[in-house]
């Protein structure tokens, strides 16, 4: 047990080799830090069975699946039916991650956009939140999210948000959420923290994106869900709140957006 305030790591990758053979310890470490739930993400549909198995084996773990934008050129195009079928699982709580990444894979922009629209359609159909990865594609991302929202509402979190103020405002205007990762805790991320500081508090989540992007004091090392607490403490400072109050607010936000995870816990 722990006396830490409860928080949720809304985005991690527990199927990655970095955690192989260590998941019992990783989940226990998270609990000690007050991280009582995790959403582990399959970045390719063919890895969804392995990610599902992790969620089934560990009570605090939920899962989501989609095709990461950096992989869409090499992977079969996901279909709405594929994603709806996955959504039937009681611990499947989100669609994605999908999105646009023009930093390394700008040459596949067209197929990335096609894939993104498929994932949006699945989010709209299932009522589950869309999980978005965005890098160096702010204008196209804002335009597609808004265009699709006009065609039919859906919910969304901008995971590991580290884009510009314009995309933040566009997402918030649509009622979407911004998620703070370890990047927001980096000393040089002053501009990013300023973007978060003017966002509505009821639209903020926290995450690790582990095994990547460990926050201080673990920067440069393998990240893990327990370290969500370090980012959340920085988040509390950004919003001028005591840590327990900020943690409680992010829990409320997670439960509202990831309603299926909240319902599963309530029914357990």
What is the mean predicted confidence (pLDDT) over 31-42? Answer: 98
> Strand 177-180 relative to strand 35-42: parallel, antiparallel, unpaired?
unpaired
pLDDT in tens, 69-125: 999 999 999 999 999 999 999 999 999 999 999 999 999 999 999 999 999 999 999
Whether the predicted pLDDT of 143 surpasses 50: yes
pLDDT in tens, 111-136: 999 999 999 999 999 999 999 999 99
Which pLDDT band, with edges at 50, 70 and 90, does 265 fall under? confident
Q: Where are the domains of the chain?
A: 7-262
Which pLDDT band, with edges at 50, 70 and 90, does 14 fall under? very high
What value does the mean pLDDT of the chain take? 97
> Strand 61-65 relative to strand 35-42: parallel, antiparallel, unpaired?
parallel
What is the mean predicted confidence (pLDDT) over 233-251? Answer: 98
pLDDT of 1 reads 40
Whether the predicted pLDDT of 268 surpasses 80: no
Whether the predicted pLDDT of 3 surpasses 90: no
pLDDT of 227 reads 98
Whether the predicted pLDDT of 2 surpasses 60: no
What is the mean predicted confidence (pLDDT) over 16-26? Answer: 97
Is the Cβ–Cβ distance between 18 and 222 less than 8 Å? yes
Query: Can you identify the CATH homologous superfamily of domain 7-262?
Result: Metal-dependent hydrolases (3.20.20.140)
pLDDT in tens, 147-182: 999 999 999 999 999 999 999 999 999 999 999 999
| Alpha helices, DSSP H, located in the chain | 23-32, 48-57, 80-87, 109-126, 138-151, 165-173, 190-197, 228-238, 243-257, 259-267
User: How much of the chain is in helix, strand and coil states, percent to nearest 5?
Assistant: 50, 15, 35
């Amino acid at each position: 047990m722990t006396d830490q305030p409860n928080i949720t790591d809304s985005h991690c990758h527990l199927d990655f080799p970095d955690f192989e053979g260590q998941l019992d310890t990783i989940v226990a470490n998270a609990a000690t830090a007050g991280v009582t739930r995790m959403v582990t993400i399959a970045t390719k549909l063919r890895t969804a069975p392995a990610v599902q198995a992790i969620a089934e084996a560990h009570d605090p773990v939920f899962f989501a699946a989609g095709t990461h934008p950096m992989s869409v050129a090499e992977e079969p195009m996901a279909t709405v039916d594929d994603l709806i079928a996955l959504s039937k699982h009681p611990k499947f709580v989100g669609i994605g991650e999908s999105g646009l990444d023009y930093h390394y894979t700008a040459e596949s922009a067209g197929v990335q956009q096609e894939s993104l629209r498929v994932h949006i359609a699945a989010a709209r159909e299932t009522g589950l939140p869309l999980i978005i990865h965005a890098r160096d594609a702010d204008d196209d991302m804002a335009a597609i999210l808004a265009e699709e929202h006009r065609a039919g509402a859906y919910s969304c979190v901008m995971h590991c948000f580290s884009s510009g103020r314009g995309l933040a405002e566009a997402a918030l205007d649509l009622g979407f959420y911004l998620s703070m990762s370890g990047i927001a805790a980096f000393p040089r991320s002053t501009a990013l923290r300023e973007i978060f500081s003017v966002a509505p508090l009821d639209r903020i989540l926290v995450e690790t994106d582990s095994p990547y992007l460990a926050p201080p004091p673990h920067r440069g090392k393998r990240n893990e869900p327990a370290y969500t607490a370090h980012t959340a403490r920085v988040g509390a400072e950004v919003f001028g709140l005591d840590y327990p109050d900020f943690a409680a607010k992010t829990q409320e936000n997670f439960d509202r957006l990831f309603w299926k995870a909240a319902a599963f816990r309530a029914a357990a």
